[in-house]
Structure 1
Amino acid sequence: MPRNALHDIKRSLDDLIGEKVLLRANGGRRKTIERMGVLEETYPSVFVVKLDPPDGSFKRVSYSYADVLTETVELMLCKDGSNVRVTYTEN
């Protein structure tokens, strides 16, 4: 995986910190996890999403930028009543 692609994904997520996102991730055994949350922080290798669980408690999950690149994890920015998928495209 190209290093610059991961850096580009991190940079695009840096701009979205604090935004509400829909997270869709592979949960294994043909299960897909879909949860709402807030992009809380980005680190050099991972990003953290604070989920909004149904019971009112909070849970944090982290994924690598490679997960976004390989589409193991999909992020949708929830803004103005519409969802925009966060993706990486090569120039």
Structure 2
Amino acid sequence: MGKNALSEIKLTLEGYIGHKIRLKANSGRRKTIERTGILEEIYPSVFVVKLDEDQHAFNRVSYSYADVLTESVELTILDGDNQQVPVKYVKTPQ
């Protein structure tokens, strides 16, 4: 499950480079942070989101695919038609 799940999440995100994305991240002690930005780059173990300039103090954040797998980061792709596409790993029955 581990390696395949991470590569599935990576492959899913590769199709959305350049799209608007909403992040909901757990920052500990019952705090969650919501951010919006553009999915900018994909690397072997992390992805980079360029944040909206007017909302945040810094330009970019990066998270690992394991963060998505463990649900410490929730991703939602925002389509041009205001459609919301959640990105998460769904275990398929064997």
For 1:33, the equivalent position in structure 2 comes to 33
Letter in 2 for 1:23: L
1:46 and 1:62 in contact (8 A); partners too:
yes
Structure 2 unaligned segments of length 5 or more: list them. none
For 1:6, the equivalent position in structure 2 comes to 6
For 2:64, the equivalent position in structure 1 comes to 64
- Aligned CA distance change for structure 1 residues 55 and 13 (closer, same or farther; 3 Å): closer
TM-score, normalised by the number of residues in structure 2: 0.88
TM-score, normalised by the number of residues in structure 1: 0.90
Structure 1 unaligned segments of length 5 or more: list them. none
1:77 and 1:86 in contact (8 A); partners too:
yes
Identity of matched residues, %: 60
Pairwise CA RMSD:
1.7
Give the length in aligned residue pairs. Answer: 91
Q: Which runs of 4+ in 1 moved over 2 A?
A: 53-58
Per the TM alignment, residue 58 of structure 1 is displaced from its structure 2 partner at its CA by: 5.5
- Aligned CA distance change for structure 1 residues 69 and 53 (closer, same or farther; 3 Å): same
Question: Normalized per residue, which structure has more strand?
Answer: 1
